[in-house]
């Protein structure tokens, strides 16, 4: 359908699947002036992060998987649909992805972004994020087969087991890629007297970070020397980054094992046969699939553009009659 949108509102990135099969993926960042006036949004606002003067506040409207800044998030969504996608919200069909382990009221807030706006869409439905991820990876979620999805996001990690189109088990963990970035910042300050920003930490993670020791690469970054207080250039080796993030990686592995221990035996058999599926931007960390395989003795499946798999799944929920039922209206479920 031309006037339909599948929307995955992530902590770090906003992904919108347009009705003409166009997928927009921009930073979920807002720059605000005069306390409530939007100055910029998306990639342009993110470029100001850690660089803006006091008069411009750069913020992320999603925190730990829930909406922290409703009004600005709503404004940004409408701007992206109307300006970036050249579309209209009025009379459109919208499906929004929601994390599973949040309250019904928090889920309703995702739906209210559109249903409580002045410009009324034709319909607003929500879809559980793990199911949308599975559909986006080309898996048939309606089969009586166990599928395990590990969605490694920026602020949260969602580990889910799906069978017959429903969630058998799901755990939303309050850490993800941002926690890894913070660990890199803390490690370099504590051990190398080097103060760096979160953007530089993310660059180190993406370019030389690894879930296993021995990548053997390095990157030169600029930070501030704690002792002298002056800017300094330093070459950082990949093993330094591994040491910084080792504890976070252990947390991921521990929680995956805890979920696997709860899986009913028949579904566990399916997961061993088909493997674990990775989604979310943090799943692109070098060798993370190999690490999970070593820890669980189960093969791990990676997909192309894992951060976009949820939005692609929402596109199928909108356009494919087979998957339409996985998008539902919250009006029928809330406050029963």
Q: What is the pLDDT along the chain (336 residues), one digit of tens a residue?
A: 568 999 999 999 999 998 777 899 999 999 999 888 999 999 999 999 999 999 999 999 999 889 999 999 999 999 999 988 888 899 999 999 999 888 999 999 999 999 988 888 999 999 999 999 999 999 999 999 999 999 999 999 999 999 999 999 999 999 999 999 999 999 999 999 999 999 999 999 999 999 999 999 999 999 999 999 999 999 999 999 999 999 999 999 999 999 999 999 999 999 999 999 999 999 999 999 999 999 999 999 999 999 999 999 999 999 999 999 999 998 644 433
Within 10 angstroms of residue 11's Cβ, the number of other Cβ atoms is 22
Specify the pLDDT at position 335. Answer: 38
Check residue 330 and report its DSSP letter.
Answer: G
Q: Residue 21: what pLDDT?
A: 79
**pLDDT value of position 1:** 57
Pairs from 242-246 (Cβ < 8 Å, separation ≥ 24): 242/209, 242/210, 242/211, 242/212, 242/213, 242/215, 243/187, 244/183, 244/184, 244/186, 244/187, 244/188, 245/180, 245/183, 245/184, 245/205, 245/209, 245/211
The domains located in the chain, with CATH, are 4-132+310-332 (3.30.420.40), 140-302 (3.30.420.40)
């Amino acid at each position: 359908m031309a006037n339909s949108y599948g929307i995955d509102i992530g902590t770090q990135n906003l992904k919108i699947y347009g009705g003409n099969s166009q997928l927009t993926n921009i930073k979920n960042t807002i720059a605000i002036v005069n306390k409530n006036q939007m100055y910029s949004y998306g990639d342009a606002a993110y470029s100001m992060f850690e660089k803006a003067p006091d008069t411009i506040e750069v913020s992320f409207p999603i925190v730990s998987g829930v909406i922290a800044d409703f009004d600005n998030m709503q404004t940004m969504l409408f701007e992206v649909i109307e300006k970036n996608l050249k579309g209209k919200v009025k009379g459109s069909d919208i499906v929004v992805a929601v994390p599973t382990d949040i309250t019904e009221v928090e889920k309703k807030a995702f739906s209210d972004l559109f249903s409580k706006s002045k410009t009324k869409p034709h319909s607003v439905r929500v879809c559980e994020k793990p199911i949308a991820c599975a559909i986006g990876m080309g898996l048939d979620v309606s089969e009586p087969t166990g599928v395990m999805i590990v969605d490694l996001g920026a602020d949260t990690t969602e580990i889910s087991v799906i069978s017959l189109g429903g969630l058998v088990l799901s755990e939303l963990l309050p850490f993800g890629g941002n926690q890894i970035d913070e660990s890199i910042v803390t490690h370099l300050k504590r051990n190398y007297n080097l103060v760096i920003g979160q953007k530089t930490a993310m660059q180190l993670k993406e370019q030389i970070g690894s879930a296993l020791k021995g990548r053997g690469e390095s990157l030169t970054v600029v930070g501030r020397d704690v002792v002298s207080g002056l800017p300094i250039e330093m070459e950082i080796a990949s093993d330094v980054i591994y040491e910084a993030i080792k504890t976070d990686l252990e947390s991921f592995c521990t929680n995956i094992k805890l979920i696997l221990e709860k899986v009913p035996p028949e579904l566990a058999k399916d997961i061993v046969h088909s493997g674990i599926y990775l989604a979310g931007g943090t799943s692109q960390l070098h060798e993370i699939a190999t690490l999970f395989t070593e820890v669980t003795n189960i093969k791990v499946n990676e997909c192309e553009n894992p951060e976009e798999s949820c939005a692609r799944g929402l596109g199928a929920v909108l356009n494919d009659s087979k998957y339409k039922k996985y998008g539902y209206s919250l009006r029928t479920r809330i406050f029963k």
